[in-house]
Chain A
Amino acid sequence: MTTLATRPTAGLRPSDARTWLSRPSGGWRQSAVNKAFLLPAIAVFVFLFVIPLAQTFWWSLTDFTGYSPEAAFVGLANYRVILTDPSMLAGLAFTLLFGVGTTLLITLLAIPLAVQLNKAFRGRNLVRSIWFFPAIPSMAILGLVWRYILSPLDSGALNTVLGTFGLGPVSWLSDPTLARISVIVVGVWAATGWHAVLYTAYLQSIPQDYYEVARIDGATPRQQFFGITLPLLTPAIVISTFLLMTGGLKVFDLPYTLTTGGPGFSTYTITQSIVVSGVGQGRYGLASALAVMFTVAVAALSFGQLWLTRLVEKRFT
């Protein structure tokens, strides 16, 4: 910015240059240059988001099969099918449970973990890496590995361990309730470390002076946590919970590889409905209608959550 303001562009007359220099903010030319830098981002946004979204909306009003560009306009018929067919919305309950459950659990676990990882101790970087590791492999790979660990057979890895203590076998993935819990637990295990690292980064930006003053005033570690750490972490909580909620509501790969949505529809997700029932079956119109409804619902939930966390943020900062 400074460089641009102090170096008149070639072709400008001295008077123009003086004018340029006299306005550090750059005037309309500078403003145009600044805006030009936004063009790549706008182009990406338009091509990768606006156009596909508009196209999805259009398809949701047609009987598009994905095999022919000719699609008949069917109005709101696809929306009617979704709202009247229970199995299209079979994934709604678990999607919400997964989104809310993982957001709460990960947040509750990641903040104390980050506080511990932020303390000085021998091997801290190694411990941080170990916690961060589950975030590296894809969820699909983790799902396949955990499928073997949580196998309901006596020979399943976890059941074998339980068997040595005379316990089990437990129907981890074959009982609907346990299957739901298993998927959520694996999701929490996989993402807690990543979010703890996010919180650690924010923790490092909290000035140590606050803690020193608090200690001088006789504040206990608990009081320091609730009086200083937690309020100053609210910006990180906003970001983390927003990412968790949007990611959780869109979850597909983990339940698909761990349980394939079963038993029955117990771990079926909305995204699985869109991918399997729509795209996989050449019913793009229907899948698009489901995607539009889901996008609106996720947006509403996410903005609601953002609004709520912003309120909390304002209250504490």
Chain B
Amino acid sequence: MKRRSRPTALAALAAAAALALTACSGDSGDGGDSGGTTTLTFLSWTGEEQMEQVIDAFEEDHPDIDVEASYSPPVAEYIQALQTRVLSGTAPDVFLIAAENKTNLINGEHVLDLSGEDFVENVEPFNLETYGRDGKYYGLSLSSWAAGYLYNKELLAQVGYDAVPETWDEFLEMCAKLQDAGITPFLESVDQMPTTVSAWVGAKNAEMEPSLDDQIFSGESTFAEQWTPELEEYNRIFEEGLMSPDVVGLDGDQVRDEFANGRVAVINGGPWFIGALKEANPDLDFSFSLVPAIDGGEPFAAGAASPGYAINSKADEDKQEAAKTFLRWLATPEAVELFQSLTNDVTVTSDFEPPVDPTFEPMVPSIREGQLYLPMIAWQRAEDVLNVEAVAQIQRMIRGEVEPEQVAEALDTKLAAS
């Protein structure tokens, strides 16, 4: 008796589970067109306060399309929300493709190829290629961000400098002078990939054909070969005692606060610091600079293309057409101007010049020309795995636990295992 009742109970539970899951899945995915209006579902990365104004402007121009937006903050929460919806077959018609999900979205054929569409023509190729593969573009990325060095003009002036030097040797020389003057010369948060290392590898990558990452990921070269010289240069600042190894215990906000209070001459950072710095210390006289160059190269910036608008390849054809209309409108100068005014992003469309904070102007040419590099986005697979490993190993190098070459070798090992 008991034996017979077990399958029955299991079947009942399975039925209940199926019922619950069906109920949870909610969106049937078919509806949306009523009275000649196409409803477009959109999962926004940008906050509701800003994006709502953009959507209102679009709907005013296109009354036949109703954008039904939902919002999820970046980064982890957005990636999780989108992934859940993709998995359950309820992905929105338009969503954002980002560094963290591009491999899975492209591999799973969840995103529509946008190459050949007229609205990608005025967008910086670097941004399109960031979210592309094999000549195809899967995301309409309309802006980029860049990180470099922020310097306190007053503190630098005390040792006879009016800006950050263009070469690493000169920079270390300046740091030594600052230190002799009793000023903490440089703090770089290394809870993420150091800005300096990203920029140097980027500068090297820009000079290589095929690219540095093409060579590493095709097996032609290795991290040990390509990254070791840059890591050795970076380690010099710790070996020469010009930056405290205590930076391994700091995050970006702590470094920013030190800078805001005038306790350090140079830090790494991006445009997201500007507002907080001006609020914390309105009298602070600071500016941005590119990361000084090594090996006779050019100063470079760490950075990447912002996530791109992607179209769900599984959406109905009419939804895809409406989505293209939405993306086409987003790339117009009027829409870009509106978006830029709401988000302060540095946009990269050729027909609109974004106004930027004067302190950030030295970084703008790099952004507009796509002269940016961020390993995690440039890497062709196992991006997160490699990034976690790189950050941890660089921290160990700073603490003197491993040599620069061992950091690079650890990345090779990780890549081989992925």
Check: A117 CB closer than 8 A to any chain B CB.
no
For chain A, residues 259 to 289, give those with C-beta under 8 angstroms from any C-beta of chain B: 259-265, 268, 276-277, 279-283
Q: For A66, give its contact among B16, B87, B384 (CB under 8 Å).
A: B87
Q: By DSSP majority rule, is chain B's interface helix, strand, loop, or mixed? A: helix
Cβ B392 vs Cβ A67 within 8 A: no
Cβ B258 vs Cβ A153 within 8 A: yes
Annotate B393-409 by CB proximity to A: 1 below 8 A, 0 otherwise.
Answer: 10110110100000000
Check: A47 CB closer than 8 A to any chain B CB.
yes
Check: A65 CB closer than 8 A to any chain B CB.
yes
**Quick one: given A153-B246, A264-B393, A276-B384, are A67 and B86 in contact (CB under 8 Å)?**
yes
Contacts of B57 in A (CB 8 A): none
Q: For A152, give its contact among B86, B250, B383 (CB under 8 Å).
A: B250
**Max chain B Cβ within 10 angstroms of own Cβ: one of A66, A147, A176, A179:** A66
Q: For A171, give its contact among B76, B108, B249, B385 (CB under 8 Å).
A: B249
Chain B nearest CB: distance from A265 CB in Å? 5
Q: By DSSP majority rule, is chain A's interface helix, strand, loop, or mixed? A: loop
* Chain B interface residue number, banded: 35 or more
Check: A137 CB closer than 8 A to any chain B CB.
no
Contacts of A279 in B (CB 8 A): 80
Chain A nearest CB: distance from B24 CB in Å? 12
Check: A25 CB closer than 8 A to any chain B CB.
no
Contacts of A260 in B (CB 8 A): 191, 251
Cβ A81 vs Cβ B261 within 8 A: no
Q: For B399, give its contact among A43, A169, A263, A277 (CB under 8 Å).
A: A263
Contacts of B79 in A (CB 8 A): 280
When chains A and B are docked, how far (Å) is the Cα of A280 from the Cα of B13? 31
**Max chain B Cβ within 10 angstroms of own Cβ: one of A66, A67, A84, A276:** A67
Chain A nearest CB: distance from B16 CB in Å? 8
Cβ A147 vs Cβ B251 within 8 A: yes
Cβ A81 vs Cβ B105 within 8 A: no
Chain A nearest CB: distance from B237 CB in Å? 16
Contacts of B258 in A (CB 8 A): 153, 155
Cβ B249 vs Cβ A263 within 8 A: yes
When chains A and B are docked, how far (Å) is the Cα of A218 from the Cα of B371? 84
When chains A and B are docked, how far (Å) is the Cα of A69 from the Cα of B13? 21
Check: A241 CB closer than 8 A to any chain B CB.
no
Cβ B191 vs Cβ A153 within 8 A: no
Cβ B104 vs Cβ A282 within 8 A: yes
* 10 smallest beta-carbon distances between A and B, as pairs: A174-B249, A173-B249, A281-B384, A152-B246, A264-B396, A263-B248, A174-B246, A152-B249, A67-B104, A67-B108
In the complex, 20 of the A-B residue pairs with CB atoms within 8 angstroms, ordered by the A residue number, are A65-B104, A67-B86, A68-B108, A69-B87, A85-B417, A87-B388, A150-B249, A152-B249, A152-B250, A155-B261, A155-B263, A174-B250, A262-B395, A263-B399, A264-B401, A276-B388, A279-B80, A280-B76, A281-B382, A281-B385
Q: Interface on A for B, CB 8 Å cutoff?
A: 43, 46-47, 51, 65-69, 81, 84-85, 87, 90, 147-148, 150-153, 155, 169, 171-176, 179, 259-265, 268, 276-277, 279-283
